Amino acid sequence: MSNKYKEYQSKMREIADINHAAAVLGWDQEVNLPEKANQIRSQQLATVAGIAHEKFTSDEMGVLLEDLKEDENLDAKEKRNIKLTKKSYDRNTKLPKSFVQEMSGAISESYFAWHKAKDENNFAHYAPKLERLIEFKKKQISYLGVEDHPYDTLLDEYEPEAKTADLEVLFKEVKENLVPFVKQISEAEQVYDAFMFKHFDKDQQWKYSLDLLADIGYDFKAGRQDVSAHPFTTSFGSQDVRVTTRISEENLNEMIWSCIHEGGHALYEQGLPVEEYGLPSGSAISLGIHESQSRLWENNVGRSLPFWKAHYSKIQNAFPEQLKSVDAEGFYKAMNKVEPSLIRTAADELTYHFHVMIRFEIEKAIIEEKVKVKDLPELWNSKYKDYLNVDVPNDSEGVLQDIHWSHGSFGYFPTYSLGSFYAVQFYNQAKKEIPGLEGKIEAGDCSAMLNWLRENIHQYGQQYSADELCMKITGEKLNFKHFMDYAKDKYSGIYGL
């Protein structure tokens, strides 16, 4: 390894340290922060963001990357690291430090305004901050440049190389295939799930949630769980990956799916190679691939009958009165109930993609300047009526339900659907390669699944693009047919179609 590459590693790890220090502040902001600390925390986050940006975009770093780009002695992984870092460097040097700091402050202000607006069911309180943040995102696009569509520029931050045009094709497939299948399900006899909405003690749920994370392989020596308004995963390196969950005493689904979903994200982060800390080779490929990990554990494993045949007695013992007359198969059917709903995070795995499609269409309209911020609640409500045939009763359960826009995360939502579709394709391949996989899961052993993911996905960091990784693992690029075949097979059985 050359001295210049060692210098590159040192610089990247120093920048990672700074970014992870900011992540600690962000985690604390959502888990522990007292109300009066809002303003000073926004200032602190903006300051740290400015320091990291300045270090990464320094002339010294630019010269080092140019030198290493021409170094033929680097191995394939090292060359890939330099290529990806150079792309990120070129992107970031287009953004002035003052802009990065100002946008960081705008994001913090937007977040606090969103939180208050959601609590008070008052979109008007949030609208001015959101409008200001959207102007920053448009300015960001102008700094970074546009190739095919301005939304592509935002997508690239979360799903590198993804294109708006490709997503339009994908969601067209969703409309043509998934929408009529969901309609077919809606005409069948509905499964019974009333027992999921009895009273479930908060402390007992919390205790069980820790067991649930352990059951899928989450390492509590390299992380912890807390409670937050919106469940999330944050990583300060593969040895410290934290998750949060949301608990409702009147809805057992909230805790179960928050834990397994965020646990899936955390397993990916805990599986990244610690020796590659701070480098692309020690980081997740994309949010679509990240989401594939959470969705695989949540849907393909966690919502499967084999998983609950193994673990149902444990949850039944935790809540004996509520679940005394329910068997594992009844519990399995209840958790897979398909029914249009208001809240994305509580949606079933089929109608979930209608929620994502709505957000994609609205974000695209915002960036194309076809809708004004003040009109977002009306647009949101009309799309929910069109796609899901539900009436939105208020802004808190409507346009204010997600945290993402308050973080400036435009271009993020499509990765949720991409991840679900990747998940099925990966899980199908795992079943081919692991003899008796579902039998192992039914016996309470998820380690074979986790080890397969470690070997085929986690260990590589960003050595492959999402398309390349999918091709390497499954022999083809992302193919929506895998998801539709899975959905038809599973839900035809549940609904007797």
Kindly give, in sequence order, each residue whose CB lies less than 8 Å from that of residue 205, ignoring residues fewer than 6 positions away. 247, 249, 252, 255
Q: How many CA atoms lie within 13 A of 83 on its CB side?
A: 13
Q: How far is CA 275 from CA 39, 63, 117, 362, in A?
A: 37, 25, 43, 41
Tell me the mean pLDDT in the region 168-195: 95
Which whole number is the average pLDDT over 422-446?
98
- Picking from 36-45, 83-92, 242-251, 321-330, which range would have the lowest pLDDT averaged per residue? 36-45
Q: Which residue has the tokens 């005409």?
A: 187
Q: Return the pLDDT at 334.
A: 97
Average pLDDT over residues 195-200: 97
Compute the radius of gyration of the chain from its Cα atoms: 23
Q: Which of 122, 118, 150 is nearest to 134 (CA)?
A: 150
Q: What pLDDT sits at residue 453?
A: 98
Provide mean pLDDT across the span 171-184: 95
Domain ranges of the chain: 3-145, 164-495
Q: What is the pLDDT, as a whole number, of residue 85?
A: 97
Which pLDDT band, with edges at 50, 70 and 90, does 147 fall under? confident
Q: pTM for this structure?
A: 0.91
pLDDT in tens, 13-22: 999 999 999 9
* Comparison of pLDDT for 352 and 29, the residue scoring more: 352
Rounded distance between C-alpha atoms, residue 150 and residue 198, angstroms: 47
Please write the tens of the pLDDT for every residue from 251-295.
Answer: 999 999 999 999 999 999 999 999 999 999 999 999 999 999 999
Rounded Cα–Cα distance for residues 344 and 386 (Å) = 16
What percent of the chain stands above pLDDT 70?
100
Average pLDDT of the segment spanning 463-473: 96
- Mean pLDDT of the residues in the chain: 95
Helix (H) or strand (E) run with residue 243 in it = strand 241-245
Helix (H) or strand (E) holding 144: helix 123-144
- 35: pLDDT confidence band, cut at 50, 70 and 90? confident
The residue among 349, 336, 339 whose CA lies nearest residue 187 is 339
CATH architecture for residues 164-495: Orthogonal Bundle (1.10)
Decide if pLDDT at 229 tops 90.
no
Give the residue-averaged pLDDT of 127-136: 96
pLDDT band at 369 (very low <50, low <70, confident <90, very high): very high
Note the Cα 375 to chain centre separation in Å.
Answer: 27
Residues that are catalytic: 262
Amino acid letter for position 259? C
Q: Is the pLDDT of residue 474 over 80?
A: yes
pLDDT in tens, 380-430: 999 999 999 999 999 999 999 999 999 999 999 999 999 999 999 999 999
State residue 16's pLDDT score. 96
Residue 1 pLDDT exceeds 80: no
The DSSP-derived string for 387-432 is HH------STTTTTS-SGGGGT-TT-THHHHHHHHHHHHHHHHHHH
Contact 170, 480 (CB under 8 A): yes
pLDDT at 105 over 90: no
Q: Distance (Å, rounded) from C-alpha 489 to C-alpha 440?
A: 21
Which position has the token pair 């940006």? 53
Q: Is 225 in contact with 209 (CB distance < 8 Å)?
A: yes
What is the rounded CA–CA span in Å between residue 260 and residue 366? Answer: 32
Q: Where are the alpha helices (DSSP H) in 2-94?
A: 3-31, 38-56, 59-69, 76-93
Q: Does residue 101 carry a pLDDT above 90?
A: no
Give the pLDDT score at 29. Answer: 87
φ, ψ for residue 243, nearest 5 deg: -125, 160
Q: Does domain 3-145 have CATH number 1.20.58?
A: yes
Rounded to an integer, the average pLDDT of 99-107 is: 89
Sheet containing 241-245, strands listed edge to edge, beginning at the edge strand earlier in sequence: 225-227, 241-245, 233-235
Q: What is the mean pLDDT of residues 188-199?
A: 97
Residue 484 CB coordination number (10 Å): 18
Region 477-487: mean pLDDT is 97
